[in-house]
Amino acid sequence: MKMLTLKSDHITKIYNRKTIFKNVTFSVNEGNAFAITGKNGSGKSTLLKILCGVLSPSSGTVSLSVNDQQVLYPEYYPHIGLVSPYLNMYEEFSAEENLQFIKKIRGLDSSADSFTEELLKEFGIYDHRKKEVRNYSSGMKQRLKYCAALLHNPPLLVLDEPASNLDEYGIEAVRNRMHLQKQKGVLLFATNDKDDLRFADTILDIRQLNIGE
pLDDT at residue 207 above 90? no
**Which among 48, 22, 50 has a CA at the least distance from the CA of 34?**
48
pLDDT reported for residue 40:
86
- Return the CATH class of domain 4-208: alpha beta
Confidence grade of residue 34 (pLDDT, cut at 50, 70, 90): very high
Q: What is the pLDDT of residues 117-172, one digit of tens each?
A: 999 999 999 999 999 999 999 999 999 999 999 999 999 999 999 999 999 999 99
**CA 64 to CA 190: how far, in whole Å?**
19
- Pairwise CA distance, residues 213 & 203, whole Å: 22
Report the C-alpha gap between 150 and 193 in whole angstroms: 22
- Measured distance CA(102)–CA(142) in Å, rounded: 16
pLDDT at 174 over 90: yes
Rounded average pLDDT over 53-65: 94
The pTM score is 0.93
Closest CA to 200 of 210, 208, 190: 190
So where are the chain's domains? Answer: 4-208
Q: How are beta strands 156-160 and 18-29 bridged, if at all?
A: unpaired
* H or E element in which residue 104 lies: helix 95-106
From the list 82, 36, 42, the residue with the least C-alpha distance to 192 is 36
